[in-house]
Amino acid sequence: MPKEPVAVVGIGQTRHTAARRDVSLAGLVREAARRALDDAELTWADVDAVVIGKAPDFFEGVMMPELYLADALGAVGKPLLRVHTAGSVGGSTALVAANLVAARVRRTVLTVAFEKQSESNAMWGLSLPVPFQQPLLAGAGGFFAPHVRAYMRRSGAPAAIGSLVAYKDRRNALKNPYAHLHEHDITLEKVQASPMLWDPIRYSETCPSSDGACAMVLTDRAGAARAPRPPAWVHGGAMRSEPTLFAGKDCVSPRAGKDCAADVYRQAGVTDPRRQIDAVEMYVPFSWYEPMWLENLGFAAEGEGWKLTEAGVTELDGDLPVNMSGGVLSTNPIGASGMIRFAEAALQVRGQAGEHQVPGARTALGHAYGGGSQFFSMWLVGTEPPAT
Amino acid sequence: MTGDRAPEPGDVAVVACAQTAHRRRTDDLSEVEMLMPVLHEVLESTGLTTADIGFTCSGSSDYLAGRPFSFTMALDGVGAWPPIAESHVEMDGAWALYEAWVKILAGEADTALVYAYGTSSSGSVRDVLTRQLDPYYVAPLWPDAVALAALQAQALLDAGHADEPALAAVAARSRQAALGNPHAQLRGARPQGEYLVRPLRTGDCPPIGDGAVAVVLAAGDRARDLCERPAWIRGMDHRAEAHSLGVRDLTDSPSTRLAAEHAGAFERPVDTAELHAPFTSQEVVLRRALRLDDSVDVNPSGGALAANPVMATGLVRVADAAARVHRGDSRRALAHATSGPCLQQNLVAVLEGDARA
């Protein structure tokens, strides 16, 4: 029996910000969920199952918070599943929800991801000393900066590429009312003059720490036929994992990322991603990850990704827009960040991205990664239902 | 996502299981070291390697490990190279099994490795579990897991559904049964002991311990190739209840009953039930919710009262039920897993041997 096609018919997110002191955890997730249901013109009663994801429970100090959130998410009497796959979790959560529909186990699924980082300090929360483990040093930046330097050395990319990415993403965020950072006075010079945090990563090339939630309503063919607005159809989705550190690991372009993209493209019948995909929303927590992922995902040959960035190809009005929403560089509630990428891809092909809409986008890739560049989740969505 | 052929519902089976000998503490082992022998054993029994497995899914909790992203360490034990299709739930491993089962039903894999582990000994687990509670109104009061279970037990006694001798009988029967289970931590009779939190005595409560469990799932003919007598998952479902104890009837478990209905548990009687009931009183609640009479062999493994590696205990129930089907000791078994305070969330799976057996 072929899989049931999966459609995104509702998308909601909070206005991401440094600290949502006006809402509880329950209030935060419910706000995003409510908006997704409103977008789909559905009620809580229409939801068959809830799949929720977030990054480490230590961030809010609540163990398995889905138990406490069951009521707020309308999950009483329903199946409630909690996913945790590090930074890729928002994407993985959406894929687990999509599988429920694809397998015809559920018909309409609400999927939610969140992080309320103002409840703690994420950087140090990630840096607990663990005996016999390589220390993460001062947060994720300390872990990833050497990999960025390795990329620069390998590709010969000019030192300014990172600042170009940050300048673009922060300007894209000005067009997205839900983005956390709205730096109206941003200039390239300001990015380049910002303090060096983890050489070569500067302050303005780093993601913020945000409070936020994102939610989507996924449904089957019959549900999509009743949807009030155009759905986004899932054409491919995959997860891949590899160990954190091992001899022979390519930290710059991990094989798990390549394999994950290849799986998604195979499912969707994509043979030339650069030509066949209209917009890409990828997980770029540090500016340099844009050229690095462009190569890892097959949009550029090895060592050539930075040239797309430099030439303006990834600008909102470029040939291959990347991170139209402003990306993780402008908004980062960690557990939700992957789902925000997936949701932005869906918004684009639904034609509902507002000021940051890519005109005529028909196929878009959503991408997330996590851990030590080891967990990957991606989906490809399109305006047309998949051929069955 | 098209083109892949999905199996019929009911055509996915547990084909192999392995678990540790659950122990009071494992100070001498890291979680990876505890898990690795179990992963090797379950793969060896099927002749599969990590690279042959279509999907891998695990369940564990950072709060037991005391570190963020603790599951990434366990991945080293799996040997995720070349990269694997893999996911993780911050829940009992039974829900990882559910995610893997759905993956196979979607036609995206024909085999899956599911594992779970927990080191309850690292801290005071009854206090650690208070961090699961409503963080604004309940968790600040630190009502511990035994105290909440005692509240439920008292409600049960007040309703006349059980008395203390009946609870003691559950404890005695479970630990007697565990004599036949080489993995169990408490094997054989134990005194009921003093009240821990009235009306629960030491004997009514689970042992604290560490352990790991792994199972392999396979679809259709693949399952028949890998296992002489596959334990077919005829149905599986899970349901949540409200979090606040004040709005629930603690003497009943409507979410268990609902999950059982959707899993098809009531269509025909089961001969065996592995119930995830860490406290004697919770077995009484679950038996009533599932309408299990004395003809059903309940927790022949000894259940959670004989070994309770938190985050793995639910998946151990599935593994123990499946193992009985594999051995031909059960034709139709029910496996149950729970999560949250006082049975807030419950999963039910129905496992069957082939009709010809």
User: Model confidence over A158-196: pLDDT tens digits?
Assistant: 999 999 999 999 999 999 999 999 999 999 999 999 999
Assess if residue A275 is contained within a domain. Answer: no
Assess if residue A95 is contained within a domain. Answer: yes
Q: Does B357 have pLDDT greater than 60?
A: no
Assess if residue A111 is contained within a domain. Answer: yes
Assess if residue A166 is contained within a domain. Answer: no
- Structural domain harbouring A58: 7-120+209-225
Could you tell me if A79 lies within 8 Å of chain B, comparing CB atoms? yes
Q: pLDDT tens digits for B197-228?
A: 999 999 999 999 999 999 999 999 999 999 99
Q: Quick one: pLDDT at residue B65?
A: 87
Assess if residue A63 is contained within a domain. Answer: yes
Residue A63's CATH number? 3.40.47.10
Are A194 and A203 in contact by the 8 Å Cβ rule? The answer is yes
Q: For residues B240 and A50, give the distance between their C-alpha atoms in angstroms, rounded to a whole number.
A: 10
Q: Does A382 have pLDDT greater than 90?
A: yes
Say how many domains are in chain A.
1
Could you tell me if A61 lies within 8 Å of chain B, comparing CB atoms? yes
State how beta strands A211-219 and A108-116 pair.
Answer: antiparallel
- Of all residues in chain A, the one with the smallest CA distance to B237 is A79
Average pLDDT over residues A102-118: 97
Q: Does B3 have pLDDT greater than 50?
A: no
Question: Which of A78, A83, A264, A374 is the mutation pick for testing B, counting most B CBs within 10 A?
Answer: A83
Helices and strands counted in chain B (H then E):
11, 12
Q: Quick one: pLDDT at residue A131?
A: 63
Could you tell me if B50 lies within 8 Å of chain A, comparing CB atoms? no
Q: Does A122 have pLDDT greater than 80?
A: no
Q: Quick one: pLDDT at residue A53?
A: 98
Q: Quick one: pLDDT at residue B264?
A: 98
Q: Quick one: pLDDT at residue B7?
A: 87
Q: Quick one: pLDDT at residue A375?
A: 96
Assess if residue A367 is contained within a domain. Answer: no
Q: What structural domains and CATH numbers belong to chain B?
A: 12-124+209-226 (3.40.47.10), 125-205+231-352 (3.40.47.10)
Are A245 and A376 in contact by the 8 Å Cβ rule? The answer is no
pTM score of the predicted model: 0.97
Q: Does A26 have pLDDT greater than 90?
A: yes
Q: Where are the alpha helices (DSSP H) in B20-118?
A: 31-46, 62-65, 71-78, 93-105
Q: Does B303 have pLDDT greater than 60?
A: yes
Q: Could you say which residues from 107 to 166 on chain A have a Cβ atom under 8 Å away from some Cβ of chain B?
A: 125-126, 128, 130, 132-133
Assess if residue A219 is contained within a domain. Answer: yes
Query: Mind giving me the DSSP string for A81-117?
Result: EEE-BTBTHHHHHHHHHHHHHHTTS-SEEEEEEEEEG
Q: For residues B172 and B166, give the distance between their C-alpha atoms in angstroms, rounded to a whole number.
A: 10
- Residues whose CB falls within 8 Å of the CB of residue A177, separated by 6 or more in sequence, listed in order: A15, A354
Residue A331 DSSP label: -
**Cross-chain CB nearest to A3 (options B68, B106, B128):** B106
Assess if residue A20 is contained within a domain. Answer: yes
Which residues on chain B are in Cβ contact (under 8 Å) with A255?
82-83
